[in-house]
Every structure is written in structure tokens, then in C-alpha cells.
Structure 1
Amino acid sequence: MTIDEIKKKTQQIVANKKSLPGALLPILHDIQHEFGHIPEQALSIIGQSLNQTEAEIFGVISFYAHFRMQQTGRHVIEICRGEACQSMGSKSLEQAAQSQLDIKYNQISKDNNFTLEPVYCLGNCACAPSVKVAETVYGRMDSEKFARLTDKLSTYKINVGEIV
């Protein structure tokens, strides 16, 4: 997508939402949904329309862990690093995941399928260690289950919740 296309689509999104009370968050959600992240070019367009500085908008983006300013792989895999998951082996799961995908956290795999992100609680402590893909949390994850999960995500176009 070209910069001009990004700007045009961003302008459309902003125009559709700017009259809402508290319009910034719905605008950011729509932009991220459209592009998979919030492009840097969007900040000035949003700022001009909402009479806010780019710094103010960036402050909101950086406050919420949900928002991203970098492109991600097709599937974002969140690996829990909370205390319960750590006590049940998430450190070795992290190492296996990074080795298998040949990436570190917040990088994109060579096939553009995966991005790994650390999170600090998925609320699935009784089934630790856990990972999350889209809206589905997988518990009692180990390196073998992780390999099956990523294989199925790479190979098939299926609903995430049907895996593992």
C-alpha cells in the first residue's frame, strides 16, 4: 500500500468517526483494524482533525498495549510471562518459540506469518504456561504443542480456536 493510499484511507476513517464523543480511540481501533497497525502517517491526519498534537496521540497509542505502530505477521502469538506461567516453564517455551520461528519478540518471521509478543498475564494461570493467538488462549503449552499450532496456522486457513 502506498503512502497516498494510507493517507486517503486514514482520512476516510477519521471523517467517519471524528464527531463521536471520545473519537480518538474508535479512530485508532479502525485504523489498526484496516492496516494491522497504526502507520506513522496517520498521526498528523488524526491530530489535525481532532485538534491534538501528534505527541498526544502517540501517548494514547503507547499507553494501550493493544495498539501497534509496527507491522506484524499474519498471526500475533502472545506468550505469557506472568509469574504462574514462568513457574510452569514459559521461559523454555519462549526459547523454543523464538528458535522455531527464528525471531525474537516483536519481530516478523521470514514468511510474514508470525510475530511473537510478550504479555504479562493472560488470566489462564491454572493452565500455565499459556499463549494467545487472536482471541483464543491455549493453556498447558509446550514446545511440541507450539510447533503443531504454528504448523496449522501456517498451513491451513482455519479458525484459530479449532487448533491444538
Structure 2
Amino acid sequence: MERHRPWAEERACAILAEHQHLRGALLPMLHALQEEFGYIDDAALPLLAKTLNLSRAEIHGVVSFYHEFRRQRPGQHVLKVCRAEACQSMGAEALIAHIQDHLRIDFGHTSADGRFSLEAVYCLGNCALSPSLLLDDTLHGRVSPARFDALTAPLVQEAAE
């Protein structure tokens, strides 16, 4: 299941044109680019700078300031695991160790097969159902290592086929 299109400068320019009229257009443009491509490609920075009459350094500063913006293409499935206190107190560290061992990746990385990216977040607002994670933007609570395996089994199986 491919969630994002491959980088295409022509499409990126169209996205920028669609948002150029907005006041404070940089953030909406960045969000739209990431929605389309899954990340902010290096080639987008000069396009944004030219469109908005800003320096590349200004664009880079905004992209690097906000943790939600990715600079590399994510895996087909993105896991965001909560590391806030409530989740930690309910076993998030054991869950994280299991996920890292099971998928052989660390936070901020993508598995060798390109299937999964692992990201840390610091509150999903699901504290009553800790530990929590987002799997492809779907929130899951009370996630144990066994429940994690059940959630990802169809995705792992899909890769094997």
C-alpha cells in the first residue's frame, strides 16, 4: 500500500501555487507537500524560497524547528509511540524495546525493507489507555507487546506476499 507519491517537482510547484494566496502560506505549503510526498524533499526548499521570497535558510529553519516535518521519505507504515509519563508508567519502555527488537529499527529510522518508520511522540492524548501508539494515523491504546504483534502481523504478512 503506497501512501505517498514519489517526489515530482512539477506536482510540488502545483501544490505551492494552490497555497500561495494564503496568509502565512509557508506552513500550509509544508504540510501539503508532506501530505503528498510523505516528507519535505531537499529540492522543495529552493522552490519554497522562490515562491515566498524567503531565503533557503529561513525555510530550513522552519522545517527543522517543527518535529512533524520529515526530511526523508518514511516507510510505508509509520509508527508513532508515546513516550510521555503516563505511557511510561504503564509499560511504554518495554513496548518500545519490543518494537525496536521486532522491527530492528530505532526512533527516527526506517526498517531496512522500507516497511516501517518509528517515531517518538510526547503525548497522544490517550493517557487513560496507556501505553498508546499511532499506526498509520490510527490511535491504539493499551498496547502490549502481544497487541503490537497482532496489530502489525497483517502488515508484515503483506510484505511477505
TM over 0.5: yes
Alignment of 1:23-42 (within 5 A): 23-42=25-44
CA root-mean-square deviation: 1.9
Alignment-mate amino acid for residue 77 of structure 1: L
SS at match of 2:78: strand
> Unpaired segments of 5 or more residues in structure 1?
157-164
Q: Which residue identity does 1:48 align to in structure 2?
A: K
Matches within 5 A, 1:118-137: 118-137=120-139
The gaps in structure 2 that reach 5 residues or longer are none
Aligned equivalent of 2:57: 55
Q: Which residue type is aligned with residue 49 of structure 2?
A: G
Extract structure 1 runs of 4+ deviating beyond 3 A.
none
Partner of 2:96: 94
Residue 66 of structure 1 deviates from its aligned partner by 2.1
C-alpha contact 1:108 1:114 (8 A) present in aligned 2: yes
| 2: CA distance, partners of 1:29 / 1:154 | 29
Deviates more, 1:36-45 or 1:109-118: 109-118
Letter in 1 for 2:119: E
- Kept in 2, the 8 Å contact 1:6–1:41? The answer is no
Matches of 2:92 and 2:153 in 1, distance apart? 20
Instruction: Give the share of equivalent positions with the same residue, in percent.
Output: 44
Deviation of 1:45 (Å): 0.6
1:70: Cα distance to partner? Answer: 1.3
